[in-house]
């Protein structure tokens, strides 16, 4: 862990190559050439690449034994200039956090909103949320909202730091807030191609 930490901080990026929490792809991509391609991320009624739908299918499979599920509302076709691995890794990470934190017998709810020049992906769970004063640190490296609860060796608090970097590298941004009816909601905005 110490070596991991120093490497992470020294690089100020994600040159580290390691496996955990589904972000190994993200971590590795930093050393590769940044691979931009027009990626069709959501085509619910068509064949072809469908980033979000594929991620959700995997997430549903993982959540099911825990008595949890992942649902999304109607998806709109939209195109963005994106590195597929980075962006799917980022979405996957936020969704998996939601699965971990949402209550048994509840869901992680995904909404997709296409605005003029942006797509907004809102990922909300039905868990305990995050204390208001801690929200601003959620995307800091090594931040854990509750050390006591999360001493299960399941992560280092790096997931969301890497997610933020991935989203910002694509000209987008990411914020988190507590949903008025409970649970954490993470909003990801990404610019669409013209
Ligand atoms: N959906 C969520 N609900 C409540 N807390 C969350 C949620 N997602 C993330 N967190 C908190 O933010 C911290 C950082 O998340 P992350 O960077 O993914 O790290 P990790 O999953 O490795 O602990 C987590 O340890 C947890 O305390
Ligand atoms: Mg995580």
Topology of domain 32-191, CATH: Heat Shock Protein 90 (3.30.565)
Is the per-residue pLDDT at 44 higher than 60?
no
Is the per-residue pLDDT at 33 higher than 60?
no
pLDDT at 183: 98
Q: What is the arithmetic mean of pLDDT over 94-118?
A: 92
Is the per-residue pLDDT at 102 higher than 60?
yes
**Residue of 99, 70, 105, 102 lying closest to 181 (CA atoms):** 102
157 Cα: distance to centroid of ligand 1 (angstroms)? 7
pLDDT at 38: 46
Ligand nearest to the CA of 109: 1
**Which residue minimizes the CA distance to atom 25 of ligand 1?**
144
- If one compares 12 and 169, the residue with the highest pLDDT of the two is 169
Q: Which two tokens stand for residue 119?
A: 């797509």
138 ligand 1 Cβ < 6 A:
yes
The pairing of beta strand 184-191 with beta strand 173-178: antiparallel
> 133: which DSSP letter?
G
194 Cα: distance to centroid of ligand 1 (angstroms)? 34
Cα distance between residue 93 and residue 59, in whole Å: 10
- If one compares 115 and 100, the residue with the highest pLDDT of the two is 100
183 ligand 1 Cβ < 6 A:
no
Span 137-153, pLDDT tens digits:
999 988 888 765 555 55
**For residue 156, which atom of ligand 1 is closest to its CA?**
22
Cα distance between residue 22 and residue 89, in whole Å: 7
Contact criterion met (CB below 8 Å) for 140 and 71: no
Cα distance between residue 147 and residue 152, in whole Å: 9
Q: What is the arithmetic mean of pLDDT over 172-180?
A: 97
pLDDT at 109: 96
- Residue 171: pLDDT band with limits 50, 70, 90: confident
Cα distance between residue 134 and residue 181, in whole Å: 19
What is the distance of C-alpha 97 from the center of its chain?
Answer: 8
Q: If you write DSSP's letter for every residue of 137-159 in order, what string do you get?
A: GTTSTT--S-TTTT-SSS--S-H
**For residue 160, which atom of ligand 1 is closest to its CA?**
17
146 Cα: distance to centroid of ligand 1 (angstroms)? 9
Residue 149 exposed, middle or buried by CB count within 10 Å (0-12, 13-18, 19+) = exposed
**For residue 158, which atom of ligand 1 is closest to its CA?**
17
**Which residue minimizes the CA distance to atom 18 of ligand 1?**
159
Q: How far is CA 45 from CA 32, 48, 56, 74, 159, in A?
A: 33, 10, 15, 10, 31
Percent of the chain predicted with pLDDT > 90: 41
127 Cα: distance to centroid of ligand 1 (angstroms)? 11
Ligand nearest to the CA of 160: 1
- 15 phi-psi bin (left φ>0, alpha ψ -120 to 50, beta other): alpha
149 ligand 1 Cβ < 6 A:
no
> What's the whole-model pTM score?
0.79
Neighbours of 152 (CB within 10 A): 7
88 Cα: distance to centroid of ligand 1 (angstroms)? 18
């Amino acid at each position: 862990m110490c070596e991991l930490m120093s490497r992470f901080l020294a690089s100020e990026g994600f040159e580290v190559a390691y496996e955990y929490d589904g972000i190994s792809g993200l971590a590795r991509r930093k050393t590769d050439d940044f691979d931009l391609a027009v990626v069709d991320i959501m085509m619910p009624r068509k064949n072809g690449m469908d980033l979000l739908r594929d991620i959700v299918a995997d997430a549903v499979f993982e959540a099911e034994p825990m008595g949890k599920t992942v649902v999304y509302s109607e998806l709109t076709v939209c195109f963005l200039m994106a590195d597929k691995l980075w962006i799917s890794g980022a979405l996957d990470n936020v969704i998996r956090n939601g699965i971990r934190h949402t209550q048994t017998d509840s869901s992680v709810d995904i909404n997709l909103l296409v605005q003029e020049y942006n797509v907004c992906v809102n990922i909300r769970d039905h868990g305990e949320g995050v204390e208001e004063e801690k929200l601003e640190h959620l995307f800091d490296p090594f931040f854990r909202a509750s050390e006591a609860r999360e001493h299960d060796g399941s992560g280092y608090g790096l997931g969301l730091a890497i997610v933020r970097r991935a989203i910002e590298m694509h000209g987008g941004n990411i914020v988190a807030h507590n949903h008025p009816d409970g649970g954490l909601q993470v909003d990801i905005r990404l610019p669409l191609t013209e």
